Amino acid sequence: MTQEVKIVEPVKPKVKPAKKNNKIAIIIALLTIVVVVQSVKIFLDAQKKVELMEQNEAEQKELASTIQRLNEIRIELDEKILEIESLGGDISELELTKKEIEEELNRTRTQNRSTINQLRAKVEGYEELLLAKDKEIEELEKLNEVLYSENTDLKTERNQLNRTITELNESKTELESKVEEAGQLKVEDIEIWAIGSRGRERTTPFRARQLNQLKIIFNVAENKVAPIEGKNIMIRVLDPQDNVIFDVNKGSGTFMYQGKEEFYTANQEILYDRTQQQLTFLYDKESLYENGNYSIEIYTDDYLMGKSEFVVK
């Protein structure tokens, strides 16, 4: 009897379901995507932060540069104000601009990007103003040079005119002085006599006992340019010590001569009519004349007309 042989098939291993493997792969993929996205986000954020920092730094530099320029403009404005003011120009606009710049500088702590742009635009405007003022200063300097030249010419002309006026005044004063001097009266032919107690007359020199009365005769000279007017003619008799002999009870008095009050011995009032006039003075001295040299001075108004002298032995 034939024995059947059975063929046994090998047992296949059990395969896990594909569904589970796919789920794990998806999770891993998602995690990978999340990590990549987060990495990209972190990188982009870091990059943006760097860009913002760089932008802020650039803005700060620009702000600092603008503020520095504002300060420089303020200093230049001070110089322009002084220069234009010294040249006689109008500085009101510059003073208002300077005040505006100072206000802008006070607001710099709160400046942002938009206001920085506005500030920069103002700086440009201020710079244009400075350029305009440079031209104005140049024109003022030219004008001042012209005015200085004209003023110098005027001063020269004025000095020349002043010199001419001074010379004319000096000539006028000199002429007036000459006219005044020419109009002064002079005396001539002075005679001095001593009259004794018996009426005898003697000329100098004479003795004291012979001098009972002093007699002085002289002529007021003719003067065609002198004014016709009343004159007070005064004589002064001076002793050897240059003291004036005077006696108020006998007509002596005082007059002004060169700003000082002086005594005179005797006087006469006359009407001077430009012709020669002879005058005689008699003076009685109660006491004896001491020995020595005596002087006779004749005055009118405040000037000396003439003088003479006599001797008592």
pLDDT reading at 173 higher than 80:
no
Over residues 70-93, mean pLDDT: 83
pLDDT above 90 covers a percentage of the chain that reads 34
Q: How many residues does the chain have?
A: 313
Please, which residues have CB within 8 angstroms of residue 298's CB and are 6 or more apart in sequence?
187, 190, 218, 233, 234, 235, 236, 304, 305, 306, 307
| 69/125 Cα distance (integer angstroms) | 12
CA atoms within 13 A on the CB side of 134: 8
Domains of the chain (ranges; CATH) run: 187-312 (2.60.40)
Residue-level pLDDT at 74: 79
Q: What's 222's DSSP letter?
A: P
pLDDT reading at 106 higher than 90:
no
Hunting for tokens 């206001």 — which residue is that? 115
Its pTM stands at 0.48
Residue-level pLDDT at 20: 64
Residue-level pLDDT at 172: 75
CA dihedral 17, 21, 23, 24 (to 10 degrees): 150
Residue-level pLDDT at 157: 82
Residue-level pLDDT at 97: 84
Q: Extract the runs of DSSP E, i.e. beta strands, from the chain.
A: 187-195, 201-203, 213-220, 229-238, 253-257, 260-264, 266-272, 277-284, 292-300, 303-312
Confidence of residue 110 (pLDDT cuts 50, 70, 90): low
Please, which residues have CB within 8 angstroms of residue 205's CB and are 6 or more apart in sequence?
310, 311, 312, 313
Note the pLDDT tens digit of each residue in 129-148. Answer: 788 878 888 888 888 888 88
